Chain A
Amino acid sequence: MNRPITGLFAMFVILFAVLVGFTSRWTVFESKSLRDNPLNRRVLLEELEINRGEIKAQDGTVLAHSVKAAGKTWKREYPTGALFAQTVGWSYPGQGITDTGTELYRRDVLLGRSNSISSTIGRIQGHKKQGGSVKTWLDTEAQKVALRSLAGRAGSVVAMDPRTGAVRVMASVPDFAPSPANLARAAKSSGSPLLNRVTQARYPPGSTFKVVTAVAAIDSGQYTPTSTVDGKSPQVFSGVPLNNDDKVSYDNVDLTTALTFSINTAWANVASDLGRVTMAKYMSRFGFDSKPQLDYPPRQMTASGARVKGSIVPPTDDRVDLARLSIGQDKLLVTPIQMMEVAAAVANHGVLMQPRIGDQIINTDGQSSRVLPEEQGRVMRPSTALAVTEMMKKVVQEGTGTAAALSGIEVAGKTGTAQIDPLQNLTQPWFIAFAPADNPTIAIAVTVERSFGGFGGTIAAPIARDVMEVLLRNSPGRRIP
């Protein structure tokens, strides 16, 4: 009877080999796809057991930290409440809410998923439940001032150091204190408080865009600040008459005056003369037509530029009315951070730095590393930057932006007042600026939605002044590595 026993044993060897084969299939060969299976909650449960690291402001204020929750899990809290709601974002994976903002962008660091060798050893030892932390450039005091100055009006303030790209203020109103309950409420709110207006809103920039046209004019070599252009009102562009503010007519006016008093027809003439290709070139150097290069989730950012049926079209496209584009009208829609970058490029001698929320990454092992400043690119020659700075100084000294003037510190800026609904007299006031004008450490953009007859110079410029005042005090011209 031994022959069949051998056969039987062989069969069981094969059956057990099949078991080993299938176990290998799940543990090794299909392990990854099983982990990615939407029904598999293990990845999420693991995440809940990690003490996600802190997010801090530049002064060390804790903006986000984790506290003990049920079982071995942790939950996120935001001690500063609404102060940096959209900028820091939120993380409530247990509630099925997707991460946003810095919480999302720095997710791997915060969860301790860095790739250093020591962490790998830590993982083998099983000590992987602590995440790393992130120190940002954000300034709590200036942010408070920004929110207080907006005083509940929908709008945004964004400011950075033009030399490094360090983002100091990023305020978006309406705001809310992140919590699962508030998020559910905010998602239904008509004011879209979940939106980070600094990076996601699309507004007509109004006359602040004339800075871009001015840079293109002078840097192309075709104009100087003293070149004169026709500023009569009205003039016909693309078959439709264009007026200056209050229909004031200027005969031959130089570019400095044209910027100081924001003369529409003069800049429309300049842009028509420069042509589509030159305008397209400078816009793209400033970062228009693509998403901001901010350390922030791409899906929470939008590109600035002329939009036809929702999609960006370059100024070289015939559907774009170049003359009106050059004064921030027509199809042009921009984000506040883009307009702040316009001011920053001029402030930093023509070099645009990539904006950065993050300053330092401190991983689980306590090793810290700086987020290094990086150039986004040279937008204009230093001489152009200098010339445009002088023109923007005049705006604050004697033009439309006098409300932004600070005592003892020179400010360079440009106002904008986009018409939203002329019948109801609704406007979108803007102000972009940098200071101190000769050695800038702050670039800023302020805008307010749906102001009732307000102007950039009266509504936005005072907010910019208040925020800059705090920031200049907090960063006294120090050079950051």
Chain B
Amino acid sequence: MSDRNRELFALVPASLLLVGGFAAVFIQDSATLSSVSLSYGAVFLGLCLAGHVVVRVTVPHADPYLFPIVAVLASVGLVVIYRIDADLARAQAQWFVVALIFFAATLIFLRDYRKLERYRYTIAAASLALLLLPRVPGLGQQANGAFLGVRLPGGIVFQPTEFAKIGIVIFLASYLRDTRQVLVQGARRVAGITIPKLKHLGPLLLIWGAAMLMLIFIRDLGSSLMFFGGFLAVLYVATDRLSFPLIGFLMFSLGAWFLATHVGHVHDRVDAWLNPFDPVLYDRPGGSYQLAQSLFAQSDGGVLGKGLGASILTLPGGGNLVPAPQTDLIYSVITDELGLTGACGVILCYLLFVARGFKIATIARDSFSTLLAVGLTSVLALQVFVIVGGVTRVIPLTGVTLPFISYGGSSLVANFVLAALLLLISDRARRPA
């Protein structure tokens, strides 16, 4: 079977997952099974097929698994968002269409993605500008102390970080492709540790400084970890020196520790992480209520979960028991309703995505492509780790979206563009010479 047909058939189970999921929510809500779930499934399958046709035409040699994995994650997201709020699901479905358009546009207009290298400083500057946008007075929006959103006319909240992460990875891949040799060659070895020359170290320190500034400006530990982690991953692959990312991680930790002890809301997050069940922290605004509710929701799920639509999300008098169920805490809702089993399934999908991403990186024929694939994959994997780790109390909880699943247009569009870039890289790598 050809790669493209394999991809085509793999889309069917993704659509069936959506049909089954919607059917389960219908049954729970009204105790009746309507054929609407089937038509939803058909529409979803239709949209996926459209995406598939674009892939077939533009990148015929691309990795066949990536797009179906994305479709599975998106269908899980649509079902769970529908279970939380039908109106939100409708909006999310519209965003899904928009995301597919961006996906197709990326595949069509960026067929030679390597020309992006030419604009790397423009891209870097634009990305930094995007990151700082939420701090612009009258434009930015603060949520839980962090500056992550921009309010656009028409009430749409735009999350620039989602797009900035792609731009910054493009810049890093391009920049490190050029400098990776000098970083290693001019370096001295002290006690077995490679220390690059100061003039080469400069730009690295600059990036570290930028990450720290970002931490201070957008005040978000999670997205900073995501950006800086992505940088270290690309740096490590570019230089093959473990000491680089280790030193970088140490520096980041120092910076993070300083912020955790000196910036109020970061400190609160760390406090909440350490003592989620402290009654004082629990009741404090921006305290541990969210994390505690996340853990309570997961504990209710058990191994098999309560079933779609059967968990407790709202209070009898109205209002949410679980805060931000469609964005930050969507993983907890999934665990509550689908149990440990369902949660592991979701994690496994992400792991498959990551495996494909790295596979693409290894077969890429030029270092820019390799580094770009590594960067994009790492940033996405780190984003998953930051939010799932946050709601499962591995690390302090900070609000980033769960890629392809969480509600939100920016996230969905940006991650589909990310997937499209990976497909472009893999198409070039697998194209017969």
Give the interface centre of A7, A23, A30, A37 by most chain B CB atoms within 10 Å. Answer: A23
Count A interface residues, CB 8 Å.
43
Q: B400 to nearest A CB, angstroms?
A: 14
Q: Which residue of B lies closest to A94 (CB)?
A: B316
Q: How far is the CB of B136 from chain A (nearest CB, A)?
A: 34
Q: Is A367 an interface residue when CB atoms closer than 8 A count as contact? A: no
Q: State whether A45 touches B394 (Cβ < 8 A).
A: no
Residues of A within 8 A of B292 (CB): 37, 39-40
CB of A122, distance to nearest CB on chain B (Å): 13
Q: Is the CB of A28 within 8 A of B316?
A: no
Q: Give chain B nearest CB distance to A13 CB in angstroms.
A: 7
Does A452 belong to the interface (CB within 8 Å)? no
Chain B residues with CB under 8 Å of A49's CB are 312
CB-defined contacts of B370 to chain A, threshold 8 Å? 1, 5
Interface of B is mostly: helix
Q: Is the CB of A16 within 8 A of B385?
A: yes
Instruction: Name A61-75 residues within 8 Å CB distance of B.
Output: 69-73
* A94 → chain B closest CB, angstroms: 7
Q: Does A3 contact B (CB under 8 A)?
A: yes
B316 & A5 in contact (Cβ 8 Å cutoff): no
User: Is the pair A18, B298 in contact by a Cβ cutoff of 8 Å?
Assistant: no
Q: Say whether, besides A70-B317, A126-B310, A26 and B298 are in contact (CB < 8 Å).
A: yes
**Chain B stretch 190-237: residues in CB contact (< 8 A) with chain A:** 233, 236-237
Q: Are B385 and A8 in contact (CB under 8 A)?
A: no
Q: Is there an interface contact between A16 and B351, defined as CB atoms closer than 8 Å?
A: yes
Contact B282 A27 (CB under 8 A): no
Interface size on B, residues (CB 8 A): 55
Q: Is the CB of B347 within 8 A of A20?
A: yes
A16/B316 in contact, CB under 8 A: no
Mark B334-360 against chain A: 1 for CB-CB distance below 8 A, else 0: 010001100110010011001100100
- Interface stretch, picked from B113-121, B301-309, B411-419, is B301-309
Check if B233 sits within 8 Å of A23, measured CB to CB. Answer: no
Q: Which residues of A contact B258 (CB under 8 A)?
A: none
A13-B385 Cα distance, complex, nearest whole Å: 11
In the bound complex, what is the Cα–Cα distance between A302 and B335 (angstroms)? 46
Asked whether A40 and B296 contact (CB < 8 A) given A2-B362, A8-B358, A45-B321, the answer is yes
Which of A15, A35, A45 meets B312, CB within 8 Å?
A: A45
Decide if B351 touches A13 in the complex (CB within 8 Å). yes
B296's partner among A12, A34, A73 (CB-CB below 8 A) is A34
Can you list 17 A-B contacts (CB < 8 A)?
A8-B236, A8-B237, A16-B354, A19-B394, A20-B344, A22-B392, A24-B340, A26-B335, A27-B301, A28-B302, A34-B295, A40-B292, A42-B297, A42-B321, A71-B317, A126-B28, A126-B307
8 closest A-B pairs by CB = A34-B299, A22-B392, A26-B298, A71-B316, A73-B316, A31-B299, A27-B340, A4-B237
If A22-B393, A45-B312, A71-B317 are given as contacts, then 10 extra A-B residue pairs at C-beta distance below 8 Å, sorted by A number, are: A1-B238, A7-B236, A15-B381, A24-B340, A31-B302, A34-B299, A39-B296, A70-B317, A71-B315, A126-B310
